[in-house]
Chains A and B, each alone.
Chain A
Amino acid sequence: MKAAVILLPGLNRDRDMIAALTDIAGEPPLTIWQTETSIPDDIGLIVIPGGFSYGDYLRCGAIAARMPVMKAVREKAERGTRVIGVCNGFQILVEGGMLPGALMRNSSLKFVCREVELEIANNKTVFTSAYAQGQIIRCPVAHHDGNYFADAATLDQIEANDQVVLRYANGTNPNGSVNDIAGIINKAGNVLGLMPHPENLITAAHGGTDGRALFESALDLVDA
């Protein structure tokens, strides 16, 4: 399966993401600039990396979510193409309405840059099938606005649908997210958003490879 990485001004984790995908897939992903209005048919996985698109002006991800390329991403997602948004990418997906809820300022009001523990809360997704249900993995976070919020009705719905895929575990919730939510999928199961950075735990040189299985799952590189 071929991957593509969306590029927007102000993102800064794009090179990490490209390096991770290149290492895992054996070929570099296609890169797609924000003004593009279509995404090639052979792309099976679209990744929106982290950073500070448009300087976080207005709200994190708000302006990026309204760029032409995001209309193309939405159309591909509606036809089943897999989409992963990491950090600012997650913020862009919720701002664009592709995932429920919102990401607000961390409850501490501080930027957090540290390692957290994540529980695989649902391994029956195309993104987490290579992990065990309930498995705890390590993952770095680096964000100022990762405090996941949804109203009570939406929260009940996403919990009932098993749309919470990743939760901060063992008291490591770094931002005040409701129900320790670190990552969610859409109802159809092909769009994932997460605040932590699995692309930074890919090779032994990173100090761990806990993030690798997420991209291997998403690229269908594991035997289910």
Chain B
Amino acid sequence: MIKARVTVTLKNGVLDPQGKAIEHALGGLGFSGVGQVRQGKVFDVVLETADRAQAEAELKAMGEKLLANTVIEDFTVEVE
């Protein structure tokens, strides 16, 4: 079994109104030094294979086919 994490973030240049709202809320809580917040998604995936290279290839395909919308999002894959 291989555990992995796929992180999806908005591409640079794509407006992130949710991130902006979070940024403002942090300011409201007294965190005065917050320059910018961009929000995204994390997927923890457990794969049944033991083959690391295969797992990485599959996770990359999952990111491209479903987990990220590559029109607006980038993703990274980390295998434990």
Contacts and interface: CB of A to CB of B under 8 A. Distances in A.
B72 to A, nearest CB: 5
A189 interface: no
B66 interface: yes
A68 to B, nearest CB: 15
Interface in B62-80: 65-67, 69, 71-72
Contact of B72 (A102, A106, A176): A102
B15 A149 contact: yes
Interface of A (DSSP majority class) = loop
Given A149-B14, A149-B15, A109 B69 contact: no
B41 to A, nearest CB: 8
A58 B66 contact: yes
- Residue with the greatest number of chain A CB neighbours at <10 A, chosen from B14, B17, B21, B67: B17
Interface in A128-184: 147, 149-151, 176
B18 interface: yes
Interface residues of B, number: 12
A105 B18 contact: yes
Interface in A36-59: 58-59
Contact of B71 (A66, A102, A105, A107): A102
Given A105-B17, A105-B18, A109-B18, A150 B69 contact: no
Contact of A62 (B15, B17, B18, B69): B69
A150 B15 CA distance: 11
B66 A109 contact: no
A149 B21 contact: no
Contacts of A10: none
B71 A101 contact: yes
A95 interface: yes
A158 to B, nearest CB: 13
B21 A107 contact: no
A19 interface: no
Contact of B17 (A95, A100, A102, A109): A109
Given A58-B66, A66-B66, A149-B14, A104 B21 contact: no
Contacts of A107: 15, 17
Interface of B: 13-15, 17-18, 21, 65-67, 69, 71-72
24 contacts: A58-B67, A59-B69, A62-B66, A62-B69, A66-B65, A100-B71, A102-B69, A102-B71, A102-B72, A104-B15, A104-B72, A105-B17, A106-B17, A107-B15, A109-B17, A109-B18, A149-B14, A149-B15, A149-B71, A150-B71, A151-B13, A151-B71, A176-B15, A176-B17
